[in-house]
Amino acid sequence: MKKAATLSLMITLCSIGASAQKTKLLRELSDQACKCVDSIYTGDLEKEQITKKISDCISKQVLAYQLGSTLSALTANLDNVKGKKVNIVVSENQQSSEYKKNYYEIERYLMDSCEAIKVKVATLDKGSNSSYSSNEEAMRYYYEGVDQLKSSKFVNGAASFEKAVALDPVFAFAWDNLGICYRNLKKYDQALNAYQRSLKIDPNGSVPLQNIPVVYQYMGEYDKAIMAYKDLERVDKDNPEIFYGVGLIYTLNLKRYKEGLDNMCVAYNLYVAQKSPYRTDCEKVIQQIYNEMKKENNEALFFETLKQNNISTGKKNAE
């Protein structure tokens, strides 16, 4: 039988709160993990290789965190253990609930505080032969635009990418980044055009396929956004972003919480299987869905849906 993924919800399902000492330990070990993540050279690595390296950075801190957390708990309860023999056990089994609990705590902290991990997990797959340009001047404008984009100077970035595609109309990455600039400038029609130009060059381009549904969502075209995610599914059926994106639309825009939860559960399991830190974003949305379904007296349906997707809350009476 497939082992259930464990979901931590900040409701009555899990115990929240740690001593100041444990919090300090979490911060210190997470800082070390963050430095490790920041040192990862992504270069020509695939996304799966990048997430594996990120996971290794987190795993290096798990045993120290388990031990430190246990000692913190003993210190806080010193009067009850004084004079008694105490066995301290830490688990090296990465499939154990104790190991996962500590791993996920570090991972959540990193996603909230470590900029490096956000940059690394956002790295897209390598491009096709049309991704870059053989035109040196077009490449110069492209890199100029990338620098502007990193500084959130979207007007200047758009101007540079426009010059790049004018020199080389089949420069896919320049069209992708032009779309990103237009999207941030709320020029949604122009963003769609840029992404669609990129797709004509490379029909499997991950940037336009992932961003077109986002643009439709900003435009309030929710049915088109869902259909656009289906286009992404055509080329990358195991991409959790498909189900996460559709789940967001059902949850935030359409207020259809059961359908939102169905998609978020699929996304959550895929993120866990791929060891992606984006699992933490999924947890937050599932938490929000729980709150809304509770208001509608649909708690039983919420927990039944988690059970059907082989997701455990870690609480017996919630299974």
Write out pLDDT tens, residues 112-131.
888 888 777 665 444 444 57
Give the rounded percent of residues in the chain with a pLDDT score beyond 90.
Answer: 46
Most confident of 48-52, 129-133, 154-158, 312-316: 154-158
Task: Indicate whether 76 pLDDT > 60.
Answer: no
Average pLDDT over residues 232-252: 92
3 state SS of 6: strand
Tens digits of residue pLDDT in 270-318: 999 988 888 899 999 999 999 999 999 999 999 999 999 999 876 544 4
Least confident of 54-63, 113-122, 246-255, 304-313: 113-122
Residue 132 has what pLDDT?
77
Residue 9 has pLDDT above 60, yes or no: no
Give yes or no for a contact between 158 and 178, defined as CB atoms under 8 angstroms apart.
yes
Reported as a single tens digit per residue, the pLDDT across 225-238 is 999 998 888 888 88
Question: For residue 311, what are the β-bridge partners?
Answer: 5
Q: Using 50, 70 and 90 to split pLDDT, how confident is the model at 208?
A: very high
- Distance CA(26)–CA(9), nearest Å, equals 19
Domains in the chain: boundaries:
8-121
The helix (H) or strand (E) run that includes residue 312 is: strand 311-312
pTM of the model: 0.70
Taking 70 as the threshold, does the pLDDT of residue 143 lie above it?
yes
| Mean pLDDT, rounded, for 42-71 | 80
CB 294 within 8 A of CB 12: no
% pLDDT > 70, the chain: 81
Q: Is the pLDDT of residue 15 over 90?
A: no
Determine phi and psi for 145, rounding to 5 degrees. Answer: -65, -40
Average pLDDT, the chain: 83
pLDDT the model gives residue 314:
60
Rounded mean pLDDT, 79-92: 56
- Helix spans in the chain (H): 20-38, 47-76, 78-81, 97-113, 115-121, 136-150, 154-167, 172-184, 188-201, 206-218, 222-235, 240-248, 257-273, 279-295, 299-308
Q: Is 28 a residue whose pLDDT tops 50?
A: yes
